[in-house]
Structure 1
Amino acid sequence: MSTSDNKPSITIFRGWKDFGKHVWSPFVIKLEARMRFAGIKYAVDVGSPKTGPKGKIPYVECKQNKSLDGGPAADDYEEVQQLADSTLIIKTLVQWGELPDLNAALSSTDGAKDMALRALLEDKLYFYHMWERWILNYYTMRDHALGAIPYPVRIVVGLIIYRGQLSTLHGQGTGRYSGQEIAAFRYEIWESINALLLEARRQQQQQQQAQSASTASTVGAQADQQLPPPPPFWVLGRDQPTEADATLFAFIVSVLISTAAPDSQRVVRAFPVILDYAQRIQDQYFPDYEKWSV
């Protein structure tokens, strides 16, 4: 879509005015993380599902200056394109050459693992979270999601959304389980993620120890220097993030900042390595964003 000297300006519409903060939507956080992993600059704005191409958040607007072939500068115009759905946005920006393909170097086996983890989070855990927020903690979720709407109208709109969520969850299957069963399923997912991250961090520590041993002669001279913060480790145990890391980070942060997800918060906070994983990514890639309470 662009050359190196004519990059498009990208605006992410996040649905909330909380500038300088993560928003509750894991798909917004995922998209922002993906941009920051690549060092791509972007702006943020509120937007609305009503104005988005697919009727949902997030969506992006890409603006790029164009000129007619052989025409004078006065014929320049601005091309504007809107993209929707976090996964499709990322795929399109990769195709345009605006984002690197984080999974390009993965083997077919690791690629399948990456896809499976993303599907576990986006197509399974997401609905358990939806149930917890919109059904179990309805009033908290309603007032956050619809906070910009006057209270009397908020009641009506909230009930419409609530009924829609009930119908969606029942059709998808989550709504057919008891609260206890959903909690057990949700815990099982986070427990599995905890195991993956423990192994990924262990691999990173082994690599760092090997590197330290090979440079032991210089350690003494640097002993008095303050050590830098530990770098992120990545869920597949690689030295660079993959698509799954953007998604996993997003779901962790979404839980940690949402007051409509108290049960999920307790589960996530019970796994120190999950907190460590998110903390390191936050420190390196989102230093300008407000951090969740510890």
Structure 2
Amino acid sequence: MVTQSINASPDITIFRGFRDTKNHVWSPYVNKLEARLRFAGVRYEIGVGSPKTAPRGKIPYIECRDLSTTSSSGKGEGSQPKVQLGDSTLITKTLTEWGVLTDLSRALDPSKRLQDMALIALLENKLSFYQTWERWVQNYYTMRDHVLWPIPYPIRIVVGLLAYRANTTMLNGQGTGRFTKEEIEQSMYEIWGAINVQLVMSRSSSKGGDEKPFWVLGGEEPTEADACLFGFIVSAWICTAGPKSHDTIKSFPVLLDYAGRIHDQYFPDYDKWTVQ
């Protein structure tokens, strides 16, 4: 387990957009950020929040004390002003620069660092669009009612249609929306299949036994890619607006084994998903 001695607590609150407090959520980026903090042993609180109040207009975002050099210079601990940070990657980068999080890339050689970055890009810049298509186009009503839960039903219809239009326009411009259903599903399956092969290799070489977490690049500590991959596996498994992704995850048992071990060690206070 990776831990770090924190000299100054930033009093972090993660705004997740969902009202659940003892569960993982549908957003892979929320799950990713929580895993990243827990890998470093950093405590945080949970808030709901909304894209309207988010600094970059999206979930997740955090509120914490500003530990930047210019803010904390000459001030006592706890006197720094509160700031909001958005985007899971930029949040991690900022907290690492402040010394709150460990730098998980510090020990990687150039080849491993590239693999780490490539896997994250595959998940966030490829798979994420396929999942958005599955959830917002193929399973629109389930996605709408879950994500837009705070909005009263008559208004939710209008807001949902606006969200649908925004997502379909984005997917068409990005390119995913121009593929057929069969092409998108095949691409998703190929991505998870490739990750499955890598995890099988990593598990076989792990020294942690049958219960301790093993890491996607085969090292003895997690990397940034592990936080991201955990977030995407959990999201795909529990999101009822993504039944095809759920079935794909089920067809590769090592994916749930990988995520389950991380959950057991780092999220003992959260309810664990069931294998259906």
TM-score for the superposition, normalised by structure 1: 0.87
The residue type paired with residue 151 of structure 2 is I
- Give the match for residue 137 of structure 2: 135
Deviation string, structure 1 residues 27-82 (Cα, Å, up to 9, x no partner): 00000000000100001100111111111111111126988949xx9xx8441111
Q: Distance in 2 between matches of 1:208 and 1:8?
A: 32
Deviation string, structure 1 residues 257-286 (Cα, Å, up to 9, x no partner): 100010110010111111110110010001
- Give the match for residue 165 of structure 1: 167
- Give the match for residue 214 of structure 2: 233
- Give the match for residue 44 of structure 2: 42
The residue type paired with residue 266 of structure 2 is Y
Structure 1 unaligned spans of 5+: 210-228
Q: Distance in 2 between matches of 1:47 and 1:252?
A: 24
Equivalent pair of 2:66/2:72 in contact (CA under 8 Å): no
Structure 2 unaligned spans of 5+: none
Q: Are 1:245 and 2:226 counterparts?
A: yes
- State percent identity of aligned pairs: 57
Shift in alpha-carbon separation, 1:181–1:79, aligned structure 2, 3 A:
same
Mapping for residues 260-271 of structure 1, pairs under 5 Å = 260-271=241-252
Q: Distance in 2 between matches of 1:68 and 1:97?
A: 15
Shift in alpha-carbon separation, 1:160–1:201, aligned structure 2, 3 A:
same
- Give the match for residue 258 of structure 2: 277
Q: Distance in 2 between matches of 1:167 and 1:187?
A: 24
Shift of 1:153: 0.3
Q: Distance in 1 between matches of 2:161 and 2:72?
A: 49
Aligned pair count?
A: 267
Q: Distance in 2 between matches of 1:132 and 1:6?
A: 42
- Give the match for residue 17 of structure 2: 15
The residue type paired with residue 124 of structure 1 is K
Shift in alpha-carbon separation, 1:69–1:203, aligned structure 2, 3 A:
closer
Shift in alpha-carbon separation, 1:236–1:77, aligned structure 2, 3 A:
closer
Q: Alignment partner of 2:255: what SS?
A: helix
Equivalent pair of 1:7/1:64 in contact (CA under 8 Å): no
The residue type paired with residue 22 of structure 1 is H
Equivalent pair of 2:61/2:85 in contact (CA under 8 Å): yes
Q: Quick check: which has more Rg, 1 or 2?
A: 1
Equivalent pair of 2:214/2:220 in contact (CA under 8 Å): yes
Deviation string, structure 1 residues 220-274 (Cα, Å, up to 9, x no partner): xxxxxxxxx6100000000110000000000000011100010110010111111
Q: Distance in 1 between matches of 2:269 and 2:106?
A: 29
Q: Alignment partner of 2:18: what SS?
A: coil
- Give the match for residue 212 of structure 1: none
CA RMSD of aligned residues (A): 1.9
Q: Distance in 2 between matches of 1:282 and 1:183?
A: 27
- Give the match for residue 148 of structure 1: 150
Q: Distance in 2 between matches of 1:282 and 1:106?
A: 24
Q: Distance in 1 between matches of 2:6 and 2:179?
A: 52
Mapping for residues 60-139 of structure 1, pairs under 5 Å = 60-63=62-65, 69=74, 77-139=79-141
Q: Alignment partner of 1:171: what SS?
A: helix
